[in-house]
Structure 1
Amino acid sequence: MREHSIGIPTEADWPESILRDLCHLVSRGTAPTYVENSPVLAIGQRCIQNSGFDASNARPHDRRHKRILWAAPGDVLLNSTGTGTIGRSCIFDKSNMFMVDSHVTVIRVDRTKAEPRWINALLRTSWGQRHLESHCYTGSTNQIELSRSELTWMSVPVPPSREQRRIAEILDTLDAQIENQQDVLEKIKAVTTAVITDELTRIVDLADAVLPLVTLASITSGVTLGTETGGSVELPYLRVANVQDGFIDTSEMKNVRVSRADAKRYLLEAGDVLLTEGGDLDKLGRGAVWDARIDPCICQNHVFRVRCDKTRLLPEYLAAYSSSHQGKRYFLSIAKQTTNLASINSTQLKNMPIPLPAIELQKRLIDVASTGAGRIASESDRLQRLKVFRQGLMEDLLTGRVRVPEREAVHESL
C-alpha cells in the first residue's frame, strides 16, 4: 500500500507523517456479548457523538471474555461501519472499564509524536471526512466498512507538539461554550414546554365542546412521489425530515415533478398545519404551522396537511395541542405499531378529538407560545453562530492559515 495525504491545504511548513508512525495502536474492537449487569461496558457507535463520548449509550458486556480491547483515556474512537455513522469520531475521556466493540476503531496516539485531540480534529474536518470516504471505505450502501490498513497509511500534517496542544485547547474551549449553549437552549425549551402545558391545560378545561378534527378543518395527505404524468411542473416539497416538532426546517429541500393538477391540489398555504404520519415513535403526529417562506411548495404523502377553519380553530392552537401530552397520548393510543415504529392514517387524524375553547382563549395560548418561541429562536441563533465560528476557526487553525503563539515560549520571553 502507498501513503495517501489527507489533503488539508496547509499554509504552514509542517511535516507530514503516516498515521501508523504516530500511533501505538490502530485496531478494531471485538464483538460484544451483552448481559443485563456487568461492571464492563461496551462502547458502540452510539457512544461516539459529534459532541463527544456519550457513556449513557454503552451497554453491559460479559466480563468473562478475555480477548477484548480496552479503551484508554485519550484514545481516538472512530465509527467504522454503516451509512450515517461511519467516520464519526471523538476522544475517550473516561477511566472506567470500557471495552470497544467491533464496529469501532481505536486510534491510540503516541503522545511523544502527536496530540490525540489534533488527530481527532483532523478526522472531523471536511477534508478528513472526504478523505476517509474516498480512500478508507469499502463495500456498498448501508454495508460500508472502514479499512483499518488504509487508515494507517493516511498521511497527516504534524505541527510542533506545543502548537498542536494550543490548537486543541482553543477548540476544546469553543466546544465547551457550544455545549453550555446547548444546555441553556434545552433548559429554555423545557421551561417553555412546561409553561405552555400549564396554560394549555387551563384553556382546555374551559373548552365549550370537544369536536372531531374533521369538523374543524380539511385534511389531506401530500403527493405520492413517482406519480408524474404529462404536463408536469417541478416544485420544492416538504419531507418528514423537514417537519420537526414545533418548526419547519427548510435548510435542505428537494424538488419533485408533479402534474399541474396535483400541483394545484397539494399546494401549501400559510397557516397550514403539517403533521407527520409516523415512522420512528418521535415522528408520530409531529408537526408545526407552515409560514409559506417558500412559495409555491407542496408536501409528500407521509405528511398530512391540515387547513383549519380559522373562524373556529386557529392553526397555532391546533399545533400546540397536537404536540401536547394529550395530543401525543391520542396518537399513541390509535397508532398502528410494530417494534419502534408507529403510524396513523388520515381517518384516525380526522377523528382526533379537539377541545374547542373560544377564539380569545386560543389566542392567549398563542401569545404564551410565541414568547417562548422567541427566546428559543434567539438562543438557537446564538448556538448556530458559535458553531459557524468554530468551523471557520478550526479550518484556519488546522490549515496553518492562522498560527497560535506557543504559550510556554511567550512566557519564557517575558
Structure 2
Amino acid sequence: MEQKRLGDIATYINGYAFKPEDRGSTGLPIIRIQDLTGNAYDLGFYDGKYPEKIEINDGDVLISWSASLGVYIWNRGKGLLNQHIFKVVFDKCEVNKQYFVFAVKYKLKEMELKTHGATMKHIVKKDFDNTVIPFPTVEKQADIAYILSKIESIVEFRKQELQQLDDLIKARFVEMFGDMYLNSKGWPEAKLESMADVVSGITKGRKTKAEDLTEVPYMAVSNVKDGYIDWTTVKTIEATQQEIEQYRLLADDVLMTEGGDPDKVGRGAIIKEPLENCIHQNHIFRVRLDESMILPEFFAEYLQHQRSKRYFLGCAKQTTGIASINMTQLRALPVLMPPLSKQEEFVLFKAQVNKSKVAVQKALDETQLLFDSLMQEYFG
C-alpha cells in the first residue's frame, strides 16, 4: 500500500500568539485546546484585524501540537486560532478528512516519543511532516473511516450509558434522602468520628531499623478518585509485619484523600476487593465505618454531594491551588444519618444499577478492543 508523509498531504497553519492586551470582551473567541478529549476554552475575545488564515469554522480539522496532543474536527462555531494549534488545509492531494483524523490520532503516540521541550512537550514541525501514514485510494479511505466512525460512535454511546446509570444513582439518592446541603428531610447529624475509625497511612521514605521487610501493594492518592478506585497503576512499598497489620485494608473501607484540587479535596471511594496485604499512603485517610450506624455505600455517595464537599472546601488549607484537610477536620465531618433501613434500600437499588453497569462496561470494553485492533490493522 502507498505511504504518504503528513507534510505531503496538507498544509498546516499555526495559530497566532495573541498578546494579553489583544484579549478583550467582544469579538471572536480566541481558542485554545485544553485537554486530550478536545475540550476547548477561550482566552478572551478579539475584535481587531486578523489574518484570514487563523479563522476557524465548523468542519475545520485542528491539531494540538503542544502540551495536550490531539486531532479534532471543530464543531463549536467561528473563532480564532491561538498558537500551538495547526489548522489543516487539504490543498496538496485528495484525502478523506475523517480517515486523516483517525490516522493522525493513531500516529500521535509515535509522535509523542519525539516530542521536545523540558516544561511543555511539543512536536517539532519537521518531525510532524515526516510522519508517514498508509494512503490507500480515497474510496478505501472512506470505507475505513465509515467503519471506524460507526464503532467509535458505539463506544461513545456505551460511555453515555454508564454516565446515565451514574446519574440515576445520584437522582435516586436525592429522591430518598433529599437535598443534603439543606438537609431538607431533617435527618439527625453526627460527627464522623462517632461512627467510624479514621486513620492515616504509612509514610513513604520513612526510616526503619527493621530488617524483616515485606514488599506489599499500597494505595496512593492517584488511586483514589471521586467515587471509585483507579487500579491502573498500583505501587508497592516495603513494610514491617507490624505496619502491615496496622494499615491493612479491608473490604468496604472508604479511602479519602488528604489533598488535591480545591473542588476535589476530601474525595473518597470504597475499596471492595483490596489486594492481599494492601496498605495505604499517609496522604490517604482510611475510614472504617460502624455499619450498625452507617453503611459504606451510603457514606461514599454522601461524599459526592454538596454538604460534605462544601464542608471540606470551607475548612481546607489552600496553597498555590492545592487544598488539604487534616485528620481533625475529617473526623469532625458532619454526616447526616437516615434510618439504617433507608440506607439499606438505597444500597439494594445501587446494587441493581451496578449489575447493569457491569454489562454495559463489558460491552464497552469489547467494542473498545475491536476499535483498537482495527486502528492497529489499518495504521500500524
TM-score normalized by the length of structure 1: 0.81
Is 1:43 the equivalent of 2:31? yes
Residue deviations 1:156-213 (CA, integer Å, cap 9, x gap)? 2211111111111221222222233333332332232011122123997474x42221
Q: Which of 118, 128, 152 pairs up with 1:175?
A: 152
> Is residue 268–residue 292 contact of structure 1 (8 Å, CA) maintained in 2?
no
Change (3 A) 1:174 1:374: same
Q: Unaligned regions of 5+ residues in structure 2, if any?
A: none
> Is residue 236–residue 256 contact of structure 1 (8 Å, CA) maintained in 2?
yes
> Is residue 27–residue 105 contact of structure 1 (8 Å, CA) maintained in 2?
yes
Match of 1:21 in 2: 8
> Is residue 227–residue 258 contact of structure 1 (8 Å, CA) maintained in 2?
no
> Is residue 191–residue 333 contact of structure 2 (8 Å, CA) maintained in 1?
yes
Is 1:192 the equivalent of 2:169? yes
Residue deviations 1:328-350 (CA, integer Å, cap 9, x gap)? 23222222235653222111010
Q: Which of 363, 370, 373 pairs up with 1:382?
A: 363
Is 1:92 the equivalent of 2:74? yes
Q: Which of 318, 321, 325 pairs up with 2:299?
A: 318
- Per-residue deviation, 1:254: 1.9
Residue deviations 1:199-258 (CA, integer Å, cap 9, x gap)? 123997474x42221122111122222225343322212222322222222132222233
Q: Secondary structure at the match of 1:27?
A: strand
Trace 1:195-210 onto structure 2 (pairs within 5 A).
Answer: 195-201=172-178, 205=185, 207=187, 209-210=188-189
User: In structure 2, what residue type is equivalent to 1:173?
Assistant: K
Match of 1:218 in 2: 197
- Per-residue deviation, 1:304: 1.0
> Is residue 201–residue 280 contact of structure 2 (8 Å, CA) maintained in 1?
yes
Is 1:76 the equivalent of 2:54? no
Match of 1:411 in 2: none
- Per-residue deviation, 1:378: 3.2
Residue deviations 1:22-51 (CA, integer Å, cap 9, x gap)? 11x2232112356453341222122x644x
TM-score normalized by the length of structure 2: 0.87
Q: Secondary structure at the match of 1:102?
A: coil
User: In structure 2, what residue type is equivalent to 1:331?
Assistant: F
Distance in 2 between the 1:245 and 1:88 partners? Answer: 26
> Is residue 200–residue 284 contact of structure 2 (8 Å, CA) maintained in 1?
yes
Change (3 A) 1:341 1:381: farther
User: In structure 1, what residue type is equivalent to 2:135?
Assistant: V
Match of 2:121 in 1: 144
Trace 1:129-140 onto structure 2 (pairs within 5 A).
Answer: 129-135=108-114, 137-140=115-118
> Is residue 249–residue 274 contact of structure 2 (8 Å, CA) maintained in 1?
no
- Per-residue deviation, 1:365: 2.6
Q: Which of 156, 160, 174 pairs up with 2:133?
A: 156
> Is residue 250–residue 274 contact of structure 2 (8 Å, CA) maintained in 1?
no
Match of 1:63 in 2: 47
> Is residue 27–residue 148 contact of structure 1 (8 Å, CA) maintained in 2?
no
Residue deviations 1:378-397 (CA, integer Å, cap 9, x gap)? 33333333222211222223
Is 1:352 the equivalent of 2:352? no
User: In structure 2, what residue type is equivalent to 1:90?
Assistant: Y
User: In structure 2, what residue type is equivalent to 1:213?
Assistant: L
Residue deviations 1:99-152 (CA, integer Å, cap 9, x gap)? 221122333333733223223212222xx23421233x1122x33221012211
> Is residue 43–residue 98 contact of structure 1 (8 Å, CA) maintained in 2?
yes
Count of aligned pairs? 372
> Is residue 240–residue 302 contact of structure 1 (8 Å, CA) maintained in 2?
yes
Is 1:239 the equivalent of 2:217? no
Q: Unaligned regions of 5+ residues in structure 1, if any?
A: 1-13, 400-414
Q: What percentage of residue pairs aligned between the two structures are identical?
A: 26
- Per-residue deviation, 1:92: 2.6
- Per-residue deviation, 1:77: 2.1
Q: Secondary structure at the match of 2:110?
A: helix
